[in-house]
Structure 1
């Protein structure tokens, strides 16, 4: 099977530099023969979750964390264009991993976050089970691997595919905050409706990664949905314009950092990326090397010619995700659990309770955010280890620890006790 792009992946010149279309071609060639191998059906399962009502700041519908991110990183989006969740929920998935999700009480509630996570786990399992895919990846030459390393954040194809699946799940869970504005009668039909309406494609082409990841973690979505005459949903013109403007601002910020580093400071592109790695992580590092005249598109959304036909990876992943979600959602039974009561303020903190883990701490930006949250509460941070996801902090009391975890959840992180594999209970209100 050959995918035609007019660019040779074996070219030394191409491999030595950032090239989004070539990276997209490599991934498409890997995926098209088969990305998912069917696995055993999941049984019906009950999931206990703890729900906490989000408390907006006075005079607004946004929480402090949401407002701060909006003002710092979502120019020119306004608060009126953002919808917030009404509740944050924590639960442990079928793999034993603690999760944080969000829902609105005028939508489908906790059902979609839980079933979305289970669908992600199923698709990850199916990717891992596709032995022929692993063989194709192992056969990749050094030129192709250099293109992926120069262009993508995750580098390894399996990791890139897994992130793509997770992104589809995030798109569904976030847009579920708008489900009350649609006429879909069930969570499965809502997911199918998003796919039929092209919303997954819209997220891939109009959003950008940092916007999706950061707004998802905070339980907010900066778009609206309008129901059309044929029953599908669309982004209104104002939403499209705002998404475009936010993306252009992000690209401009990344280009500004690179221009300053390479022109004013005389650094090479690689040197600029190395020196300003943290700054670019806060913006969107994927755009730092984007040519000024190139409009960025999600790698999975790039269309190729394959065996005389058009081929794109995105519809394959989104459609399969929606099908698996539709099968799972009726077999995921959310069960509300009570949050633990506040511990007395004057009890000492056990030595082992000074250590906790944040499974979704993935980059230096996460480290800075977590440190900032704790230090803003006058909690001394002893150590944060990105590789092991371990955090050691000096809490003043069990209640202080619980409230710190609450603040971390406000930022979309999932503090967990490794010993039990459970999420520390949210403090009572």
Structure 2
């Protein structure tokens, strides 16, 4: 499908990846982040639960199921799994879920990654120059972003990009034993200097990163070069390319069938085949058959006489802040029963209508979670992306338990109670 037919999606939007990348590159400079004050050392309690692989396997049931359904032709021996799932409440009072390996860098990386994400979000929110640049966008530019990106508002796009950088760091930490880096700071700098963030942006596709992250798995192997840098192995590169091609091919087949055989317009096809062409796959369906896409942030443009792209700006600052925050976060293991997500209690009060989904990171997650609940005839009153809070009308405790099971099958980890807030402490 060419971009001309894709532009017919609506009168107000236009699918144009290169123009969207240029718009984001222009918005990101000269400064994307405003300076923030360093905070005090923060004592953050977390609860860790050991993952239970299936018999004669290193993967859990959820990991194996996702591998078989959505990661062809990737094989189980190409996947590294976390050993523990952890939950904690960040400094903004928002519950989170993460993964780590006991033989690697441990729970510090997921926690500091989240604190880095929050810091960069705050810096963007406080950047008046960025807000001014966004306010000057014309209708045509906004139409391109709406037609090409999953999160249409520029600040939301940047926020998701920051979180994606954090996912790349925390997820690759599962492979720390394959690298020469034995501390979190050196590991983060090593990923950056080796170009691994760029490899994720150009080789992976969005849904693969988000879904495997939620399941504590990574389909990657690293090798160390003579100069100490890290690279994906040839097998990894071939597998990632094949998985990406398969995903794009699936989206193209759905769109081709809908438009060529059924005579639907692009807009009608997206509306009818919502489950197949959701907010993410829709972007693949609108690609030219000759285009093999990378993340918009990885595309560089000539802006004000210099080559500019969003990815280096985000990655450099992310690693800088992450390295600084390592010494300001003090993870402390909490008793296992602190992460009580008992779903068998009575569902009679207001508190039983509320739960949290720490893995919910973007509008695609919001739509997916809402779709799962609504498919079970559960009325959804509110889903708040910022606080990870969901309010839904469950018919019974069993109905709620089954809904949570369905969400876990999708890679999400709902929790009923919001953990207590993290505490700031002075450190000698």
TM-score range, shorter chain: 0.7 to 0.9
Distance 1:17 1:99 in 2: 35
TM-score by length of 2: 0.87
Task: Identify the residue that residue 391 of structure 1 maps to in structure 2.
Answer: 392
Distance 2:13 2:346 in 1: 56
Task: Identify the residue that residue 357 of structure 1 maps to in structure 2.
Answer: 355
Task: Identify the residue that residue 175 of structure 2 maps to in structure 1.
Answer: 178
Task: Identify the residue that residue 159 of structure 1 maps to in structure 2.
Answer: 156
Q: 1:244 to 1:18 in 2, by over 3 A?
A: same
Task: Identify the residue that residue 6 of structure 2 maps to in structure 1.
Answer: none
Q: Is the 8 A contact 2:259 2:266 kept in 1?
A: yes
Aligned-pair CA distance for 1:330: 1.7
Deviates more, 1:55-64 or 1:184-193: 55-64
Distance 1:347 1:206 in 2: 45
Task: Identify the residue that residue 324 of structure 2 maps to in structure 1.
Answer: 327
1:297 aligns with 2:294: yes
Aligned-pair CA distance for 1:60: 1.2
Deviation track 1:278-299 (CA, whole Å, cap 9, x = no partner) reads 2122872221101111121111
1:413 aligns with 2:416: no
1:146 aligns with 2:143: yes
Distance 1:410 1:233 in 2: 33
Counterparts of residues 219-234 of structure 1 (less than 5 Å) = 219-234=216-231
Deviates more, 1:191-200 or 1:336-345: 336-345
Deviates more, 1:339-348 or 1:349-358: 339-348
| Cα RMSD, aligned residues only | 2.8
Distance 1:92 1:371 in 2: 28
SS class of match (1:231): coil
1:42 aligns with 2:34: no
Aligned-pair CA distance for 1:17: 2.4
Counterparts of residues 13-412 of structure 1 (less than 5 Å) = 16-281=13-278, 284-340=281-337, 348=346, 350-359=348-357, 360=360, 362-369=365-372, 382-385=378-381, 387-388=383-384, 389-394=390-395, 396=397, 408=407, 411-412=410-411
Higher RCO by CA contacts (8 Å cutoff, separation 6 or greater): 2
Structure 2 unpaired stretches of 5+: 1-9, 385-389, 422-428
Distance 2:174 2:56 in 1: 21
Aligned-pair CA distance for 1:366: 2.6
Structure 1 unpaired stretches of 5+: 1-12, 376-380, 424-429
Deviates more, 1:403-412 or 1:359-368: 403-412
Q: Is the 8 A contact 1:282 1:365 kept in 2?
A: no
Between the two proteins, the alignment pairs up a number of residues equal to 401
Q: Is the 8 A contact 2:88 2:96 kept in 1?
A: yes
Distance 1:200 1:52 in 2: 28
Distance 1:414 1:340 in 2: 16
Distance 2:99 2:124 in 1: 27
Q: 1:283 to 1:73 in 2, by over 3 A?
A: farther
Q: 1:144 to 1:396 in 2, by over 3 A?
A: closer
